[in-house]
Structure 1
Amino acid sequence: MLQLNNVETFYGGIQALKGIDVSVNKGEIVTLIGSNGAGKSTTLKSISGLAKVKTGSIVYNGTDISNKPAHETTLLGIAHVPEGRRIFPRLSVKENLLMGAFSVKNKKVIEKRMEKVFHYFPKLKDRLEQKGGTMSGGEQQMLAIGRALMMKPDLLMLDEPSMGLAPIIVEQIFEIIKELNEEGITILLVEQNAYQALQVAHRGYVIQTGEIKLQGNGYDLITNEEVREAYLA
């Protein structure tokens, strides 16, 4: 479904990605793990069009999407939930969700998708008129994922969904990630909590200073001594 070939991305004169190769097959959960500043978020931004690729290619369902604008990658079926949630704090929960369906004109389709979001996140149904910025961190994360689901994505990219959340909320989020995948959504997951990520992932990549250092299935990486010492200790 998705193939990154020798991708290099820069922020000004600083090289963030140094020729990475990453693949995601349809129906998989693939995770990127690594320390802060390793290039995980930049990888997602490069895919969604928020960071400019200097060399290499990003191919999605056979189409080269390298440096395609973010609103166009969204229309292709790629939803990006960024680090820090990035909801619209002054808009209500309902308005935030409607922003996720910005390209949909059919009201019945929008209502159906919203009910699907409420299936995963019942709390949001009770908070429809509440301003997003007044919600707890966990609720905002649910809203950010719900907004992405309103796009009905084929590929859902999640950047640090557990950051700053209580352990019980983290468990809920990861259960929903598994459920979404079982229902057919392919997921590319960036996660600081390497153990949680590798437990749900089919495959994973370890990224260090903009380079892929290791890759393998979730179990192999969890049991890898180098990974355990660096990320699971």
Structure 2
Amino acid sequence: MSLLELHKVHAYYGAIEGLKGISLSVNEGEIVTLIGSNGAGKSSTLKSICGQVKIKGTIRFGGQDISTQPPHQTALDGIAHVPEGRRIFPRLTVKENLEMGAFSVKDRKIVKDRMERAFGYFPRLKERLGQLGGTMSGGEQQMLAIARALMMQPKILLLDEPSMGLAPIIVEQIFDIIQELNRTGMTVLLVEQNAYQALQIAHRGYVIQTGEIIMEDEARLLLQSEQVKEAYLA
């Protein structure tokens, strides 16, 4: 069953068209990856879902049309976005960053329980609860950004370039955690320039080029595609 559906979505930055009528779907319990080069429209796709750019077309989540609703309502509906560049609050502590992720939760026990669950995936964060986010390493900041999103207890996790700027060993850890989250039932839409790594863990994939979807298939078949190999896996 499709949890998230985009149908002929166009995205605009003023007069510039960032997406040119893309359609894609993410089924409940899947990892779906969207791969493409810089400027292809990957981030624009996630921003469109979250209501951060002007669009035409239809976006449905859980069967409901969310095409025109504001970003805060999309978050409350269960869509958590981990943006490119992590965008943590650098002057807040790890604990405060995590609490910001649960901004809509009034019950402190629920917030504490969610924090403990996040520490199960990212034990390093528990050791750094009082540390300012901006003083952490890139890998730790990425862990914090994902953990903050998990504090929302989302129905779907949108990840934008989680491997960007990280050492290979940290990238492996992040992708292992994405798979672990998926095994617990978390649905993931993963935007990645590291196509090989993304297709290794995804169920299905889409290839986007200059704002248009040019290929879609099972991830294992995209890994075998000569076109994909030549353009993104070389």
Normalised-by-shorter TM-score class: over 0.9
Alpha-carbon distance in 2 for matches of 1:102, 1:175 = 27
What's the secondary structure of 2:118's corresponding residue? helix
**Partners of 1:46 and 1:67 within 8 A in 2:** no
Q: Which amino acid counterpart does residue 205 of structure 1 have in structure 2?
A: Y
Return the TM-score normalized by structure 2: 0.98
Work out which of the residue numbers 29, 34, 53 in structure 1 matches 2:31: 29
Could you tell me which residue of structure 1 aligns to residue 212 of structure 2? 211
1:137-216 alignment, distance < 5 Å:
137-216=138-217
Could you tell me which residue of structure 2 aligns to residue 80 of structure 1? 81
Pairwise CA distance, 1:68: 1.4
What's the secondary structure of 2:68's corresponding residue? coil
The alignment yields a C-alpha RMSD, in angstroms, of 0.5
Aligned residues: 232
Could you tell me which residue of structure 2 aligns to residue 130 of structure 1? 131
Alpha-carbon distance in 1 for matches of 2:20, 2:29 = 27
**Partners of 1:199 and 1:219 within 8 A in 2:** yes
Question: Does 2:20 match 1:18?
Answer: yes
- Post-superposition CA distance 1:151-187 (Å, at most 9, x none): 0001000000000000000000000000000101100
Could you tell me which residue of structure 1 aligns to residue 119 of structure 2? 118
Alpha-carbon distance in 1 for matches of 2:167, 2:174 = 11
Pairwise CA distance, 1:49: 1.0
What's the secondary structure of 1:20's corresponding residue? strand
What's the secondary structure of 2:32's corresponding residue? strand
Structure 1's unaligned 5+ residue stretches are none
Pairwise CA distance, 1:50: 1.1
What's the secondary structure of 2:206's corresponding residue? strand
Q: Which amino acid counterpart does residue 64 of structure 1 have in structure 2?
A: D
Return the TM-score normalized by structure 1: 0.99
What's the secondary structure of 1:80's corresponding residue? strand
Structure 2's unaligned 5+ residue stretches are none
Moved over 6 A (4+): none
Pairwise CA distance, 1:83: 0.1
Pairwise CA distance, 1:67: 2.7
- Post-superposition CA distance 1:126-167 (Å, at most 9, x none): 100100000000000000000000000010000000000000
What's the secondary structure of 1:15's corresponding residue? strand
Q: Which amino acid counterpart does residue 124 of structure 2 have in structure 1?
A: K
